[in-house]
Amino acid sequence: MPRFDNQTVLVTGGTGGQGASHVRALHAEGANVVIGAVDAERGAGLAAELGGAARFVHLDVSQEESWVAAIAETERAFGALTVLVNNAGVQNPPALIESTQRATWARILDINLTGTFLGIKTAAPALRRAGGGAIVNIASTMGIGGTACYAPYVASKWAVRGLTRTAALELGRDNIRVNAIHPGVVATPFITEPAAGSDTPIADFYSPEPFAIPRLGQPADITALLLFLISPHAAFITGAEYVIDGGLLLGPALPKEAA
């Protein structure tokens, strides 16, 4: 894998389980990294730990003015933005559609979908100024099928797929590639901590036993795919979607005694 010297990468939700993994790996591979996050203490702490080629910027992805400020700060600090990773995301507390509050629906869509839309909208001119680049949207295997009790999340991630394809069509001529990653179940606070309004971590609903690769995903698994997608090896890949789930979507693997 080539290094990422001369690249400046903005990772939203860059303090989270997967986001921090992306930030650390990109920094280690020579990129300037911008940690766009709402958690100022963790964001500033991670930037300080990494040193000069890392910055924390306050970024609430659901707010357009927050995006404008974050992109401006990125260009001021590093001269250009070359990669955007739309990673920030939130899960809804489990509830049937008929019990889901409109406010919950709006909040999940605001962050997961509108946040990704605003990111593409605001970053595109900066990526164009840089002569091109890449956008990677983190969707989910839950954006491929249906999952009872997670309608806002499922709908938001399905919509990110359409946004990815449309953005790829609109930005291809500007040398900007746009792709999506669909992680399966990844061991981060996202699934290991109870969602607001629920006592039960989502991980309690999953056992990796039936997966072809019988373990949960790790942030580093997703980071490896991200690095490929933003590298020159992926120069002809745009509008594509990559499932990375250890075989979760394939269906149940052979039981141990039959294998």
Binding site for ligand NAD (CB under 6 A): 12-13, 15-19, 37-39, 59-62, 87-90, 111, 138, 140, 183, 185-186, 188-191
| Helix ranges (DSSP H) in the chain | 17-28, 40-50, 64-78, 102-108, 115-129, 151-171, 189-192, 219-230
Angle of helix 17-28 relative to helix 40-50, nearest 10 degrees, comes to 20
The Cβ of residue 54 has, within 10 Å, a number of other Cβ atoms equal to 22
Nearer to ligand NAD, 31 or 180 (CB): 180
Residue 26 amino acid letter: L
Nearer to ligand NAD, 149 or 175 (CB): 149
* CB 115, min distance to ligand NAD, A: 6
Nearer to ligand NAD, 38 or 171 (CB): 38
* CB 21, min distance to ligand NAD, A: 8
Q: Are 67 and 61 in contact (CB under 8 A)?
A: yes
What DSSP designation does 15 have? T
Residue 136 amino acid letter: V
* CB 116, min distance to ligand NAD, A: 9
Nearer to ligand NAD, 115 or 133 (CB): 115
Residue 109 amino acid letter: L
153: annotated active-site residue? yes
* CB 191, min distance to ligand NAD, A: 4
The residues assigned a catalytic role are 153
